[in-house]
Every structure is written in C-alpha cells, then in structure tokens.
Amino acid sequence: MADLGYTKHEHDVIVIGAGGAGLRAAIEASAQGASVGLVCKSLLGKAHTVMAEGGMAAAMANVDDRDSWKVHFADTMRGGQYLNNWRMAELHAQEAPERVRELEAWGAVFDRTKDGRILQRNFGGHRYPRLAHVGDRTGLEMIRTLQDHGIHQGINVYMEHTAIALLQDGTPGDPKARVVGCFGYDRELGRFRVFQAKAIVLATGGIGKAYKITSNSWEYTGDGHALAYNAGADLMDMEFVQFHPTGMVWPPSVRGILVTEGVRGEGGVLKNSEGKRFMFDDIPDNYKNQTAKDPEEGWRYCLGDKSASRPPELLTRDHVARCINREVKAGRGSPHGGVYLDIAWIQGRKTADGKTIDAEYIKKKLPSMYHQFHTLAGLDITKEPMEVGPTTHYVMGGVKVDGDTQMSTVPGLFAAGEVAAGLHGANRLGGNSLSDLIVFGMRAGDAAAKFAKENGAPRLDEAQIQNAARAALEPIERQERGVRENAYNIQYDLQDMMQTYAGIVRNEADLTTAKQKLEGLKARAAQVAVPGNREYNPGWHTALDLQNLLTVSEALVMSGLDRKESRGGHFREDFPAKDEANFGKHNTVIRRDPRGGGGGGAMQMERQPLKPLRDDLKQVVEENK
C-alpha cells in the first residue's frame, strides 16, 4: 500500500486546544523550559472560552469579607452533589484568587470596586459575590490576555489544525502505552501532520454539538474525550450534562445562544406567561436556609446587603433549568417555548449608593446582552423581557485525571478544562469554569513539562501513522464506490436523537431507545462518503468529527442508563429522587476494552468508589452547610 506523506513537528509538549486551559497550559510548560506546540482547531483567539461571559469564581473577598476558599470549596462540593474530586475542588478554591491576580498582572482589565479592587458579582450557587468580571465579556478578556501574553513565550502555534488520533509507544489503545504524539491535518489543504511529543495536554472543551440546541460553538465535537478514550484513558461522569437555564429561544436561527447568568446576578427575574416568579415555588431543602424568603430580600442581596439571602433565580443551574422546563410543559411558557427573563424591572429602583437605576445602568452592566438581543432578536432588554429556555452548555464528565497533576490514566497524557472530569461533580457552578481553566491549565502545563524532562525521547510507530492516515481518507475514497451516506445528515439525526431521548429529562425507555438508535447511526457513519478531495472540504471535516460525537454520545447514554437516580445534571423522571445508598458513593467510569485489538474493543462501564473525604475537609463542609 502506498505511503501517505505527512509533515512532522517535534516538541517536548503538545497542547491540543487554545482556549483558556490550553493557553494557560502552554504558557506554563514554556515557562518551565519546554518546547511547546499549540494545536488549535480554529484561529487563535476564537476559542469557545470567549462565550463564558459572567465572570470567573475566586474567593478574593473584595465585595464580601466573609468569603474564603473554604466557603468556595463547600459551595462547589454542594453544587456537585458530593461526587466531585475533592482534591481538585480544594486546589481550585485555594488557587483561583492567585490565578485571577496573575491575569490582572498580565494586563486583564476587570471591573472595579470604588476603592480600586477587582469587582465581584453574585452568581448561582455561590453564597457570596465571587465572580471577578469584565462586564459580561469576561471570557473574551481572558482569551485576549492569555493570547497577548502567550505569543511572547516562544510557543509554536498551529492554527486551523485538527488532531484525530493519539500516537502511543506500544499497542494503540493500551492504557499502559505512553502517549508520544498525535496525528492530525491542517483544515485548509487537508495535509497530514504528525506532532511528536514527550507529553500531550488535552484542552479541547466539551461535547455540545452532540445536541440540537446548544450554546457551544462548532468546535465542540468531543474531540479530546474521544482521543483519550481511543488511547485507553478512562472517561468519568459522562452522564452529567449541564443544560444552562437561559439560552435564547427566538428567532430560530439563534436558538441556544447563551444568555449569561450575570443577568440574574444583576437582579434579573424569571417569570412565566402568567407573570409569576415561579422559582419561589421550588427551593431545594439544602438551599432553603440560603435563599431569599421574598422578592424584596432577593433584590437586597443583588445590591450587596450582607443580611439578605440569594434570590431563587440564583440557585444551581440544573435546578433552575428543570423549573423552566416544568413551566413550559405545564403550558405556562412564553410564545416560543421558553419563559421570560426580565432585567428591565429594576429601572427606577435605587442602587446601594442611592443612585436611580436607568437604561444606561443596565447597558453598562450587561453590554453584550444588550447588543446580542438588539441585533439578533430586535429586542431592547432595558424595555422588554427576554425569552429564554434551557440550552446544552457544559459537560461535567470527561477524562479522569489526577487532581494534582491532571495526568490521565494513560502515561504522558494530561487534560485540563472542560475535557477533564472531577472538579464539578454532578453539576458545575456558574463561574467555576473560567477559574477551572487557569488553575488546572497551569497545573497541567507544569506537570506535562516535568514529565517531558523526566522521560526520554519518544519512539514513533510508522504503522500507527499510516493506519491513521488511511482511516482519515476513507470517507473520501468511499465516493468512488458509490456510497451515498451524508455526514451532515447523520450529524443532524444524532443531534435530534440526543435532544429527544437523552436531554434535560430522561427515563429508561428513552435512554434505551437512544442506545438502539446509536447503533444505527454508527452503522451509517461507517458508510459516510464525502465528495471532492481534501482541500477546503468541510464535509470531510464533519465526517471525521462525527466519530467523536458518536463516541461521547454512547458514553453519555451508557452512563445515564446505569445511574438510576436524579442528581445534578442527570435527571431521571422514573427515578426523580437522589439515591445516596446506591449511587451516592461512586463515579461512573467508561473505558474501551483493550482486548478488542488495536484499541478497537467495545465500550465498558465501571462504578468506581469515591475516595473518602479528608477529615479537615469534612469539617469545612459541615461548617458551611
């Protein structure tokens, strides 16, 4: 068989993904003296991190001096329903303030308190104002800052390149076989690239494009999850998908686009078609002592009154999303299948310093939201309520990693950010994602650089490279055999199926149907034919991404079927309560059976017991209930 050519690049550390986690990992690895290559699917600066708008959670106590890392830790564990990797939750709470100050030192421009400190806002699930922010454009400021800093660190950036297979020193898919590089292609001309490395950091984000309605951008096709899985790494908590309660629902062309939680943090309220603030009707027992008793107390909380408790609109995202879904199903939704989010109502009220709130105040606090609705929906949020509904936003599940180093269960393979599991447990608190990126991006980059120094030069297997190249070309070559399956049609059918049978509300029958339909979709995907050649061919890109989407969808459905309870982002209407005895003491782990040959075995699932919480951290949790 003819040799398929490629260009080889050699580095100590390869980082796949150039969002917040990838950039921070690359910066840290370079600072440790490693030669670093940064592979990004899109253009540098265009990562999905820019869509994280509300802020980054860090217990800096700039607005409320009662905050501390201990309270942040307890909030994160409670939000994750205690399935979190507690070591990651501890490190995150302790190190987030320093990482935020580091961004400031590198040039990030944050909103300020009157005395010049970084301003922090309220967000769902956080007891105190904790989110350092830049209006409602915080993710964009993070990316700009990391990019501007990173380009001066000697990092080689490979823009518009996609990694499609990890290369290993040993049998592909063997969890004991060290990762020694990755195989990919440039998206413009379709030319193959081999990246040889002593360590690889995955920072590829989430899986949102497995669903029909999502806030995620086109890059989020589960690439890192699938790369790790195919290399033999464990995936964990894949049943836990976060449906953000507030995405746009109208017009159809923008359905799913995120509406930041910052709107509710600034005082926005949720109402049904009858004009009722329905969130007061359903407050979980474990949050009742921290939730406002009436609307006036909720408003005082938004103004910074330390004696007030949070409004119910700022409960955890999983709960708020289900409440919205319930109102819509009961016939109390808005005309286009959502509910109303109203920030205009605060006009005429007084701020904490006695100033009267007007339209300009709202525009200053929420500039992106004002522009987004004005441009895309022809709606002025200072005058009218927004129509919002749940949208697939984040996956808590991902690559199982060591809490301190972020190394996966495969030697030399690290993961950080959304692609890594553990920190968030069953449900992520808003704002914890951006601080997650910089805390664990830094840790992954540091550990990857140290691993590269301590381990010798990798050995590449030419057969693995050639096999990966042939597999990548199969969709193009099938057109010559008259095969007619279309990648776009299969992706659409997958998204529609996942939305219908594995969405915000699940049950045994629906998940079983999803499992059956996935088998049919996998059979169709094996027959995808792409017209044209490798150059400028988005159909080919979609065909390659499709395999990743099918992998993560199967892992999600398998995990969801096994967890016969409702917890965090996983809600089973046939098991609506939490079951601590049977499901509160383990994580669900997915891995590929290495006995299938070449890593090609069937998907397997295991219930992995939780590591007992340290006694001092147990006390922290108890003190902050």
**Which residues does the annotation mark as catalytic?**
244, 264
Query: Which amino acid is located at 194 in the chain?
Result: V
Distance between CA atoms of residues 412 and 455, nearest Å:
9
Q: Which helix (H) or strand (E) holds 289?
A: none
Contact of 54 with 110, CB cutoff 8 Å: no
- Non-local CB neighbours of 48 within 8 Å, separated by 6+ positions: 19, 205, 206, 216, 217, 219, 220
Sheet holding 131-132, edge to edge: 56-57, 131-132, 120-121
* Burial class of residue 28, CB neighbours in 10 A (0-12, 13-18, 19+): buried
Pairing relationship of beta strands 199-202 and 413-415 according to DSSP bridges: parallel
- Non-local CB neighbours of 425 within 8 Å, separated by 6+ positions: 76, 77, 79, 80, 81, 82, 83, 84, 85, 89, 237, 240, 396, 568
Of 9, 8, 1, residue with least CA distance to 463: 1
- Non-local CB neighbours of 374 within 8 Å, separated by 6+ positions: 380, 381
CB neighbours of residue 59 within 10 Å: 25
Contact of 343 with 381, CB cutoff 8 Å: yes
Distance between CA atoms of residues 330 and 180, nearest Å:
54
Q: What are phi and psi of 241, to 5 degrees?
A: -115, 130
Residue written as tokens 């806030």? 215
Distance between CA atoms of residues 592 and 222, nearest Å:
16
Furthest-apart CA pair in the chain: how many Å? 78
Of 24, 382, 388, 343, residue with least CA distance to 201: 24
* Burial class of residue 154, CB neighbours in 10 A (0-12, 13-18, 19+): exposed
Distance between CA atoms of residues 269 and 271, nearest Å:
7
Distance between CA atoms of residues 562 and 554, nearest Å:
13
